Chains A and B, each alone.
Chain A
Amino acid sequence: MNALRIKRGSSSHSAYNLRPALKEGEERRTLAVLVENEAGVLARVIGLFSGRGYNIESLTVAETDHVSHRSRITIVTTGTPAVIEQIKAQLARMVPVYDVHDLTTEGPAVEREMALVKVACTGEARVEALRLSQVFRANVVDTTLESFVFELTGAPEKIDAFVELMAPLGLVDVARTGVAAITRGPKGM
C-alpha cells in the first residue's frame, strides 16, 4: 500500500482525496443530512456535488431510523464560506431531504472514523506493531502468525497517523468508514 505514503494533499486525482491542504479562504465543514431512505438518494446527493463542482472529502451513509426509513449522510466538504452556504442550500431544497445541519458551525461536535488496518509482519516488527496499536487503543480483530487486523476508531488525523506508522512495519490494506459526527450535549438535531 505504497499509495498511502503520499503526503497530505499531494494527490489531486481522487474524488475522495484524503485531507488535502486547504486552499486560501477555504474551510472544512462537516454536514449532517437527514434524508428519506429511498432508491437513488445517495446518487442524488453525490450527483449534486459532482455536477456543481463541490468537494467531498468523506461521505458516510446508513439508515438511522428503520421505522420511518430515514438515513443520515455525513459529508465532510471544503470550500469558501459562500460555496458552503450554496452547498447547504442546494442540499436543503432536494425533495427527499428533511434537514441539513452544519455540525462545524452548530457544534461543538464529536467526529469519529473507524478503520480496519491489516499489517503483515514477523519478529521485531510484529512486536512493534502490536505495541503501537496499544498506544493508539486499537483492537486486534483478527490475527495469524504473520499478520494482524487492527480496528481503530478516532479522529481522521489519528487514523492517518496510525497508518503512517504501520507503513514501514508491513502495512497491507486499509479500510476506512469516513467520518460520522454528532453534536455534543443533550440536544438532538
Chain B
Amino acid sequence: MSREMTGAQIVVQALKDQGVDTVFGYPGGAVLPIYDELFKQNDIRHILVRHEQGAAHAAEGYARSTGRPGVLLVTSGPGATNAVTGLTDALMDSIPIICLSGQVPTFLIGNDAFQEADTVGITRPCTKHNWLVKDTARLAGVIHQAFYVATHGRPGPVLIDIPKDVQFAMAPYVKPDKAPRLPYAPRVKGDPERIREAVELIENAQRPIIYSGGGVVNSGPEASRLLRELADETGFPVTSTLMGLGCYPASGKGWLGMLGMHGTFEANMAMHDCDVMICIGARFDDRITGRTDAFSPGSKKIHIDIDPSSINKNILVDVPIVGDVKNVLADMIALWRERGARTRADRVDNWWRQIKEWRSVQCLRYRNSDKIIKPQYALQRLQALTADRDRYVTTEVGQHQMWAAQFLGFEEPNRWMTSGGLGTMGYGVPASVGVQIAHPDALVINVAGEASFMMNMQEMSTAVQYRLPVKQFILNNERLGMVRQWQQLLHGERYSASWSEALPDFVKLAEAFGCKGIRCDDPADLDDAIREMLDHPGPVIFDCVVEKHENCFPMIPSGKAHNEMLLGDAATEGAIEAGGAVLV
C-alpha cells in the first residue's frame, strides 16, 4: 500500500509519473488545491494562458510538435466551457490532450452552485472519453487511464472532472502500472491476409498514388520513415492531406503537393485517374473527396487506419487494413520485399509522364505585383528565407492557411500545426505558444490572417511573459478572406459582414503587449522586413499588408469532382451550382 495523499497531491504525482513537464492552465476557485500543490514543486512547469481556449490550443501545439500528450488545467464552469472549442478541435484532428477541470464539491453538484456546469455532460461528445471522479481513491487510476486513452489507438482529447472536496480528501496513490484496466484495446497490427492483398495491388499498379494523412504523424517518426521508404522504393507519387504535411518531404521526388479542395491540380487529377490508391492514416474527409460519387472512380483503394470506424465511412474501399500505420507499413514493406520488390515500373513511368503534364499547368501560379504584396508572394519569401532553419509553423484558419499549405514546404513531420477538421479560427496564436514552450530554441511562426489573429491574440501576453519568441506573420487583407471568396463565388459578390473594420494598428498593438511590431506593405521591402522579424530575439507581430481581393486557387468547388478544379485564371462566375451552394 503506497502512502496516502490528498487528491491534489495525487494529481501532481500522477502527472509526474506520466512524464508531464508542462501544464497550460488558468486558476480558479475549484482548482485552487491543485494550484497549491503545483506551487510547491518544480518538476512541472505551469504556463499561465490568458483564456482557457488558449490553454487547449497551446496543449495541442505542444502535443502535435512533440508527439507527447499536452496537458491543460482549468477551473469549473466557465473554465471548462471555454476549453470546449479546443477539445473539439483536438477530437477532430486526433490530438492527444488531457484536460483536468475543477468541479464544485460533490455535495453541491446538481445545485446550480457558483461556477457549476455539467462538464462531463457538455464534453462527452467532444472528448474521446471523460470522467467525473467522485472518490479520491479512484483519482490516480483514472488519471493514468486517461493518459492511456488519449495516446493509444486513434489519439484524442480526454477530460477528468475533479470536484474540489475530492482534491482535499486523502487516499492512497496508485502507480501507473497498477491502474485498473479498461475495456479499450485498439487493434495495432494489420491483418496479414489484407496486407498480402495490398501488396498484390502495389505490385500490379499501373497508375498508383499514395494518399497520406495525419495518422502518419500520430503514428510517430518511424511511420514517416517507412512512408518514405515505400514511396522511394516503389517510385510511387505521394500526396497528403493538410494534416499529414511533412511526413513525406516536400523536396522528395515523389511529392505532388497537398490534395483536396485547395490542393494541387496534379495531386487531385492523379487521385481521380489512379488505378491503385494507398490511403495511409487519412479518412476521406469531404475537403479531400469533393463529390463522393465521382471520387476516384476507377481505382482499387487500400485504406490503412487505426480507427475501424474510419473504414467505409465516406468512401467504400477494397482493402481495409485496421492497425497502427507504422506496424502495417513495416509488415507491408517486408512482405513486398520478400516477394521480390516488384512494381510495373514501365507503366509507373508512363503515369509519371502524365503527372508531369498536369504539373506543367503550374496550378499555383499567380499574378505577382511590384506595387502590392501578394499573399502567395509573402509566403514564398517566408519559405525562401526560413527553409534552412528547423522551423515550426502554426496557422489560423482561412485563405492564409491554404496558401501556407501550398507555398511552405515541410521536410519533417511534427513541424506543421493547423486546425484541419474543426477549422478553428484563433487556433494559431496559442498553438504557437505551445510549440515554442516545447521547442524553446526553434523558430516558431504563426501564419495568420488579421481576423483569426484577433480571435485569441490575448495569448501574446503569455508569449511575452514567458519570453517566447513566436513570430506572428499576419497576412492582413482587412477581409475575412475565405468568407469573402465564397461570397464572391456563390453569393453574387454580396460581401455580407466579411470585412475587418476598425482594425488595430498592429505595430502599436505589439508595442502595447511589450513585443516588437513590424509593418510591411511594399514588395520591395518584404525580404528585409522578414529578416528583421527573424533576427529579433523576442516575439514579433508582423503586419504584412497584402492584396485585399486575392482568391485562393486552385479550388475544387463544392459539389464538384477532383477533375473539375478551378484554376487561378479560370472564369469563376457560376462555378458553383445551386446544389453546391448548400455545402460548406
Question: Which chain A residues have a beta carbon within 8 Å of chain B's beta carbons?
Answer: 35-36, 39-40, 43-44, 47, 51, 82, 85-86, 89-90, 92-98
Contacts and interface: CB of A to CB of B under 8 A. Distances in A.
B311 A95 contact: no
22 contacts: A35-B183, A40-B120, A44-B124, A47-B124, A47-B125, A51-B125, A85-B312, A86-B312, A89-B309, A89-B313, A90-B309, A92-B309, A93-B153, A93-B307, A93-B308, A93-B309, A94-B129, A95-B149, A95-B182, A95-B183, A96-B129, A96-B183
A82 B311 CA distance: 11
A41 B132 CA distance: 12
Interface string B177-219: 0000011101000000000000000000000000000000000
B68 interface: no
A107 to B, nearest CB: 22
B374 interface: no
Contacts of B128: 95
A85 B125 CA distance: 20
A145 to B, nearest CB: 44
A85 B149 CA distance: 23
A55 B304 CA distance: 29
A169 B19 CA distance: 70
Contacts of A51: 125
A89 B311 contact: yes
Given A43-B121, A44-B124, A47-B124, A36 B309 contact: no
Q: Which of B132, B308, B312 has the most chain A CB within a 10 Å cutoff?
A: B308
A111 to B, nearest CB: 25
Interface in B301-344: 307-309, 311-313, 316
Contacts of B312: 82, 85-86
A38 to B, nearest CB: 8
Contacts of A40: 120-121, 124, 132
Nearest to B186: A93
A46 to B, nearest CB: 10
A64 B129 CA distance: 23
Contacts of B186: 93
Choose among B154, B182, B186 the residue with the greatest number of A CB atoms under 10 Å from its CB: B182
A164 B149 CA distance: 49
A34 to B, nearest CB: 8
Nearest to A96: B183
Contacts of B149: 95
Contacts of B129: 94-96
Contacts of B154: 93
Nearest to B184: A95
Interface in B58-84: none
Contacts of A94: 129
Interface in B151-184: 153-154, 182-184
- Which of B124, B309, B316 gathers the greatest number of chain A CB atoms within 10 Å? B309
Contacts of A36: 182-183
